[in-house]
Chain A
Amino acid sequence: MSGTGAPQAKPDEPTPGVGSGSVDSRVVLDADQIARVCARMAHQILEANRGAQDLVLMGIPTRGVALARRLAAVMDEVEGVDLPVGALDVTMYRDDLRRQPTRAVGHTHLPVEVDGSTVVLVDDVLYTGRTVRAALDALGDLGRPRAVQLAVLVDRGHRELPVHADHVGTYIPTRTGEHVGVKLVEIDGIDQVSIEPSGDPFRGEI
Chain B
Amino acid sequence: MRHLLSAADLDRTQISEIFDLAEEMSLVQGRPVKKLPALRGRTVVNLFFEDSTRTRSSFEIAGKWLSADVINISAKGSSVSKGESLRDTVLTVAAMGVDALVIRHHASGAPWQASRWIDAHVLNAGDGTHEHPTQALLDAFTIRRHLRLSTPDLMSFEGKTVAIVGDITHSRVARSNVLLLTTLGAQVVLIAPPTLLPAGVDSWPALACSDFDEVLPHADVVMMLRVQRERMSGGYFPTPREYTIGYGLTRPRLEAMKPEAAICHPGPMNRGLEISADAADAANSLILDQVAAGVSVRMSVLYELLGGAE
Contact indicator per residue, chain B 276-310, by CB within 8 Å of chain A (1) or not (0):
00000000000000000000000000011001111
Q: Are B31 and A141 in contact (CB under 8 A)?
A: yes
Q: A101-B309, A103-B308 are in contact. List 13 more A-B contacts (CB 8 A).
A: A1-B304, A2-B17, A2-B308, A93-B38, A98-B309, A101-B308, A102-B1, A102-B304, A104-B17, A105-B20, A105-B24, A107-B24, A140-B33
Taking CB atoms, residues of chain B closer than 8 Å to A137 are 37
Flag B177-202 by CB within 8 Å of A: 1 or 0 each.
00000000000000000000000000
List of A residues within 8 angstroms of B24 by Cβ: 89, 105-108
Contact partners of B36 in chain A: CB under 8 A: 92-93, 141
> Using a CB-CB cutoff of 8 Å, which residues 82-129 of chain A contact chain B?
89, 91-93, 97-108
Point out the residues of chain A lying under 8 angstroms from B32, CB to CB: 141-143
Residues B113-165 near A (CB distance < 8 A): none
Chain B nearest CB, measured from A104 CB (Å) = 7
> Closest CB of chain B to A164's CB: distance in Å?
24
**5 tightest CB-CB pairs across the interface, nearest first?**
A102-B308, A92-B38, A141-B33, A92-B36, A101-B308
Does B92 belong to the interface (CB within 8 Å)?
A: no
Contact present for B308 and A142 (CB under 8 Å): no
Q: Can you list 26 A-B contacts (CB < 8 A)?
A: A1-B14, A1-B17, A1-B304, A2-B17, A2-B308, A3-B308, A89-B24, A91-B38, A92-B37, A92-B38, A92-B307, A93-B36, A97-B308, A100-B309, A102-B1, A103-B308, A104-B17, A105-B21, A105-B24, A140-B33, A141-B31, A141-B32, A141-B33, A141-B35, A141-B36, A142-B33
Minimum CB distance partner of A103 in chain B: B308
Docked-complex contact A100 and B31, CB < 8 angstroms = no
Contacts of B27 in A (CB 8 A): 108
Partner of A98, one of B13, B17, B308: B308
**Chain A residues touching B, range:** 20 to 34
| Residues of B within 8 A of A (CB-CB), count | 22
Interface flags for A56-94 (1: CB within 8 Å of B; 0: not) read 000000000000000000000000000000000101110
Contacts of A141 in B (CB 8 A): 31-33, 35-36
Bound Cα distance from A93 to B27, whole angstroms: 16
The main secondary structure of chain A at its interface with chain B is: loop
1/0 per residue, CB under 8 A from A, across B3-35: the answer is 000000000011001001100100100011101
Could you say which of B14, B17, B32, B307 has the most chain A C-beta atoms within 10 Å of its C-beta?
Answer: B307
Q: Which residues of chain B are within 8 angstroms of A108 by Cβ–Cβ distance?
A: 24, 27
Chain A residues closer than 8 Å to B17, beta-carbon distance: 1-2, 104
Checking A93, A100, A102, A142 against B37 with a beta-carbon cut-off of 8 angstroms, the contacting residue is A93
Expressed in whole angstroms, the Cα–Cα distance for A107 and B20 within the complex equals 9
Q: Nearest-CB distance from A181 to chain B (Å)? A: 25
Q: Mark A1-32, 1 if CB is under 8 A from B, else 0.
A: 11100000000000000000000000000000
Tell me whether B304 and A97 are in contact (CB under 8 A).
no
**Which among A92, A103, A107, A141 has the highest number of chain B CB atoms within 10 Å?**
A92
Q: Which residues of A contact B14 (CB under 8 A)?
A: 1
Decide if A1 touches B1 in the complex (CB within 8 Å). yes
- Chain A residues whose CB sits within 8 angstroms of the CB of B307 once the complex forms: 92, 97, 102-103
Write the nearest CB–CB distance from B274 to chain A, whole angstroms.
36
Contacts of A89 in B (CB 8 A): 24
Smallest Cβ distance from B20 to chain A, in angstroms? 8
How distant is the Cα of A199 from the Cα of B18 in the complex, in angstroms?
Answer: 31
Q: Return chain B residues, CB-CB under 8 Å to A92.
A: 36-38, 66, 303, 307
Chain A residues lying within 8 Å of B38, measured Cβ to Cβ, are 91-93, 97
B304: chain A residues within 8 A (beta carbon): 1, 102
Q: Collect the chain B residues with CB atoms within 8 Å of residue A103's CB.
A: 307-308
What is the CB-to-nearest-CB distance from B42 to chain A, in angstroms, rounded to a whole number?
9
Q: Which residues from chain B contact A3 at a C-beta distance below 8 Å?
A: 308
CA distance A195 to B36 in the complex (A): 34
Q: Which residues of B contact A102 (CB under 8 A)?
A: 1, 303-304, 307-308
When C-beta atoms are compared, the residue in chain A nearest to B25 turns out to be: A105
- Once the chains are docked, how many angstroms separate the CA of A140 from the CA of B20? 23
- Could you say which residues of chain A place their CB within 8 Å of the CB of B303? 92, 102, 105
- How distant is the Cα of A44 from the Cα of B137 in the complex, in angstroms? 48
Of the candidates B20, B35, B66, B309, the one whose C-beta lies within 8 Å of that of A99 is: B309
The distance in angstroms between the C-alpha atoms of A2 and B309, with both chains bound, is: 10
Interface centre among A89, A101, A137 (most CB of B within 10 A): A101
- Identify the closest chain A residue to B305 (Cβ): A102
In the bound complex, CA of A176 to CA of B214 (Å): 68
Q: How far is the CA of A91 from the CA of B38 in the complex (A)?
A: 8
Contacts of A98 in B (CB 8 A): 308-310
A142 to B33, CA, bound (A): 6
